[in-house]
Amino acid sequence: METYRISIKGENSLHGETYVSGGKNTSLAVIPAVILCDEPCTIENLPDIEDIHVLYRILCHLGAKVDYNLEKKRMVIDPSTVNSVTVPYSFSQQMRASYYLMGALFGRFGHAEVGYPGGCAIGSRPIDQHIKGFTILGAEFSEGNGMLCLKGERNGNAVNFDMATVGGTINVMLAACRAKGNTILFNAAREPHVVDVANFLNSMGAKIRGAGTDTIRIKGVNRLHGTSYSVIPDQIETGTLMIAAAATRGDVLIRGCIPTHMEALTAKLLEMGVYVNSVDDCIRVRLNKGHRAIRISTQEYPGFPTDLQQPMSALLTRANGNSEVTENIFDNRFKHLDEMRRMGAKVTISGRVAYIEGVPELRGAPVNACDLRGGAALVIAGLMAKGITQVYNPDFIHRGYERIEDKLRSLGADIRLEACD
């Protein structure tokens, strides 16, 4: 099979305007959530990324009728014909968000058999909190041959998460929508896409209050109706584009985003001396001189997002001074730094902290993407570097960024996807 790489000739500053696609992580929850109702739903503003394509194949496998129009970024899903509760490992291991099929199928049918999820290798990624929530709602959980099985009643109850898990919050919220009685989720995640999924569910007739806070209340209903819904813009793509603009000392206007979702990143960029200005659904980022070193510590929303830690580390390789990056959410999210060292970055890692000493320049090199956001970080480093950078395993990047090469090229980057010789 042909393999590809992203080839970048660095040192072009990014200038001009670009736009943000629909949110990856919200779409990956909203699409499975359609299974909870038994009438057709239309989902708009879907990003054209591989993870969505995998979900499309899973829904078809389950028997749903799906009209997926890539051009129009729209999926019309009729879940009334779903005739299976089994998602084989061959599908589920292709991405992390396949775990949402557990909450959706269990919520609708009281039965789900889903293979272990896959996803970026950024540390141990247990789903014990998801299982804890489902069992508190009345599921009997069993596992075997790589399959996770839920079966039983869905009765409202109180679920207290050990940590503010995004996936766990959304997954248990899905199941609770169709439970008998009321459910309260304590220590719930507050990410923007948790709110977006709750808004989608409420547009189908669910009764969810408090999404966006650490306590979510759900009044179970015995049926949900069809709806039309447009997912929010991607918070992490927005941040990645903001960082790329600063890293190349450019001047970029990013349209179609939600600036209030970007507060933690904006604050850090301002601290570095980057110009950031937001008006309505646009953010302008400009940097035409050096930038200061800073300290970053990833937290659950509204703290600094773990998904932007890796792209930000690329910007920090050329800061004036020594920066510190503490990764508090995942236990192995620094692999991209090994690759950046080959480009001349000066980095030392001690446990959860990466120490980045600013250098005057990076040099292009062949590097390997090891995960989605780490791959994006390597692209940003390539945009900054003197000479040619070749980023291998671009499939990781295409899982979560829609046409990223085209967007960067439209801003002046010398970047293209090419077949490996």
Would you tell me which residues interact with ligand EPZ (CB under 6 A)? 24-25, 28, 96-97, 120, 125-130, 163, 165-168, 189, 191, 306-307, 329-330, 372-373, 400
Helical (H) or strand (E) element with 286: strand 282-286
3-state secondary structure of 217: strand
Task: Assess whether 120 carries a catalytic annotation.
Answer: yes
Comparing CA positions, the residue from 368, 373, 325 lying closest to residue 350 is: 325
**Residue showing the smallest CB distance to ligand EPZ in the complex:** 167
Instruction: Give the integer Cα–Cα distance in Å for 273 and 294.
Output: 10
For residue 304, the minimal CB distance to ligand EPZ (Å) is 11
For residue 299, the minimal CB distance to ligand EPZ (Å) is 10
Comparing CA positions, the residue from 125, 124, 100 lying closest to residue 114 is: 100
Which residue, 40 or 117, has its beta carbon nearer to ligand EPZ? 117
For residue 159, the minimal CB distance to ligand EPZ (Å) is 12
> How many Cα atoms are found within 13 Å in the side-chain-facing hemisphere of 86?
5
Which residue, 7 or 238, has its beta carbon nearer to ligand EPZ? 238
For residue 15, the minimal CB distance to ligand EPZ (Å) is 27
For residue 36, the minimal CB distance to ligand EPZ (Å) is 18
Instruction: Give the integer Cα–Cα distance in Å for 390 and 381.
Output: 11
* Active-site option among 37, 120, 257, 370: 120
Which residue, 157 or 322, has its beta carbon nearer to ligand EPZ? 157
CB-based contact 397:6 (threshold 8 Å): yes
* Other C-beta atoms lying within 10 Å of the C-beta of residue 28: 28
Which residue, 307 or 339, has its beta carbon nearer to ligand EPZ? 307
Which residue, 10 or 400, has its beta carbon nearer to ligand EPZ? 400
What residues pair up with 229 in beta bridges, in sequence order?
Answer: 43
DSSP character at residue 255: E
Token pair recorded at residue 109: 């049918």
Instruction: Give the integer Cα–Cα distance in Å for 172 and 165.
Output: 11
Token pair recorded at residue 151: 């079966």
For residue 117, the minimal CB distance to ligand EPZ (Å) is 8
Alpha-helix residue ranges (DSSP H) falling in 13-88: 24-33, 50-61
DSSP character at residue 292: B
* Other C-beta atoms lying within 10 Å of the C-beta of residue 223: 12
Instruction: Give the integer Cα–Cα distance in Å for 385 and 163.
Output: 39
Which residue, 120 or 367, has its beta carbon nearer to ligand EPZ? 120
Instruction: Give the integer Cα–Cα distance in Å for 215 and 195.
Output: 12
For residue 125, the minimal CB distance to ligand EPZ (Å) is 5
In this structure, the strands spanning 215-219 and 207-209 are antiparallel
3-state secondary structure of 209: strand
Which residue, 318 or 336, has its beta carbon nearer to ligand EPZ? 336
Indicate which residues carry an active-site annotation: 120
